A and B are shown apart, each in its own frame.
Chain A
């Protein structure tokens, strides 16, 4: 063991008690003009769901060729897998390591209340004009409200199809075999008859399943949200929501809406439309559909191409039918937001880069697909495919699964086979989807952290059982509500109501 080095390091580490941690914190008013000559370097952390190549330098160089030329900023390009991303970025932020641009890993408002992110207003006006322009064009002028707290903008939502109406996703062959057609399905009320017929025609097939497992989620809550205009007011517990526009914060699980929804699921469950173990199964609907064992699930998707995509993925003839509209509350829009760290030494450079990230077609597509000719080939103006003989696993670089995470969807290339008109539809729906009157309200949880943690625990305990129908709402709901109240739901609702009233007053409503 190298004792000398160890001792030296020890002495340095002793300094830890003093200045080190504070040295790497505090907002840094950018002192350098950053106009000419000097190239600033910033760290940009990107999540990728594809295989991450060993050597990123090729793509990093291509990115830098664009950014250094256009804005005089050099990018330290980091790509992390979905599981690593949160951990690595959080550690960097918490330890004060250099980390300039990252995306939302938890709830947006948490970053703001802990002062982890930089207020962007002034810099946006200076360096982000093109970006705000494209956000206006693709979504509407109100987009950044979703990231505004106390009049300051703290992040930029990814610019994509944000409306995710609930679709009924089903095996089309089975539907036909049961004597129904897509036209027979308009809403969730039409489904039991279909399930019954499918079940009779295919006794081994499970008519309906949860889209996500562990914890199981059937999308019942999202279905109710869209249909009945429920605003979750940015925290996902569901304990403080507003239904419609009456401005009254209530516990969603105490409403008749939720009760009826849970009853519907219970009814489905009792009739055998769901697996007995739907609340705890380890197999997702996607896998069940692919194996031919399941008929349908509910999913929230933008655009209308999802049936085609899932067909390709599952090898079954899958179609999707929308059965509920979408409703924009703040959380639906700021769920994926790009932010600049409050510890950034070069916030100006960071904003310049963000500006490019939303507006530069070449930059966006280099990040997503790599280098033309090596990692992808162009088919036409909007479409690309892998070079001959390559696929997502063997191509040197691709981050194609991150299309919903980064940049502007309207500037992204699409994979061969995806209809371009779908993109236009998504953008139109961005503008046409109804906004909640409380769109832009962001709940600051920091005053009720203890209650939120206890409430989260209770929701975790009861919700998967209720949304899959495996728990009887008649007996479980009262217990659930009581447990929520014991956990401090009232404090949470009160705090939220106060903040909401203040926000409404400040909006002049």
Chain B
């Protein structure tokens, strides 16, 4: 490929800009990681710093007591994220496909039906009554997967939009003239041609599952179903209570000095690092451009 001078300037400009963007994204996180290894008193006296005066593992030692609970919570979170994302992605794209077909009689009706769910909600109580009293999902893994997160209007509309603007209609027509059914067209043509958007929506869903603690708050009363975020939220709240000073009168003598700011930072690290491990390999799906000309033949 020949590069013109204009192109080279452009690439240079892009590289500098993106360098800055990436730096802006990573630096605060680095600060969090460093803070989680900083001695609590140093955090309070000297403030947050990339080069703290005193390092300490106290925050992680405090969390070590719950190591087993952490491992299990990671397990729950991974399971819920994987299953939820897989099922959700399937349902979402299956729904988006007919909506993307301009020759489908109800495509606009469906779009409206889906969009409407993004605006109005009946609130927590009616949902709770329905899920617990009619579907009996309380204290099951399903309660972490099914309510609210399985599909949402935003993702459906994203996929529909991609189908609509990036997959040419003649491609679908020619397949169907060859006798392909709708199901076959969907799985054999739409999905393979839409890897970038599926990866995007999969990423959004996966993050939503990973970061969710609301479902467990509503539908789970047994700690063994707690995912990592619930564990973190709970630990955080306990620390906040213990440090509030109001707790004093209720405390026994054996209490300890809690590295509270550092622990919060450590917990943020524990919640984020698994995602950072998983993301780089996923990246290639997002960027897998499609040469439609080749498919068209």
Contacts and interface: CB of A to CB of B under 8 A. Distances in A.
Interface of A: 1, 9, 12-13, 16, 20-21, 49-54, 78, 80-84, 87-88, 91, 94-97, 161, 164, 169, 204, 211-212, 283-288, 290-293, 297, 299-303, 306, 308-310, 312-315, 385-386, 391-394, 400-405, 414-418
A49 B238 contact: yes
14 contacts: A12-B134, A16-B134, A54-B69, A54-B224, A82-B241, A95-B128, A169-B245, A212-B246, A284-B260, A286-B243, A392-B254, A393-B66, A401-B247, A403-B250
A9 B134 CA distance: 6
Given A21-B129, A91-B124, A306 B249 contact: yes
> Size range of the interface on B?
35 or more
Interface stretch (B23-31, B180-188, B214-222): B214-222
B257 interface: yes
A13 B86 CA distance: 27
B156 to A, nearest CB: 15
Interface of B: 40-41, 43-45, 65-66, 69, 87, 91, 124-126, 128-130, 132-135, 217-218, 221-224, 233-234, 237-238, 241-257, 260-261
A283 B124 contact: no
Contacts of A402: 250
Contacts of A204: 45
Contacts, number: 168
A94 B124 CA distance: 10
Given A1-B91, A80-B221, A84-B234, A313 B129 contact: no
Contacts of B243: 284, 286-287
A376 B125 CA distance: 40
Given A285-B245, A301-B248, A401-B247, A415 B253 contact: yes
Nearest to A210: B245
Given A83-B237, A286-B243, A288-B44, 5 more contacts: A54-B222, A83-B234, A293-B44, A315-B257, A400-B252
B254 A312 contact: yes
A385 B87 CA distance: 50
Contacts of B256: 313, 391
Given A84-B217, A287-B243, A290-B257, A415 B252 contact: yes
B130 A13 contact: yes
A369 B284 CA distance: 54
B130 A211 contact: no
A442 to B, nearest CB: 23
B91 to A, nearest CB: 7
A301 B249 contact: yes
B217 A308 contact: no
Given A95-B133, A287-B44, A49 B244 contact: no
A95 B129 contact: yes
Given A49-B238, A287-B44, A309 B135 contact: no
Nearest to A96: B129
Contact of A393 (B65, B128, B135, B237): B65
Contact of B248 (A9, A97, A299, A386): A299
Nearest to B218: A91
A299 B243 CA distance: 13
Nearest to B222: A54
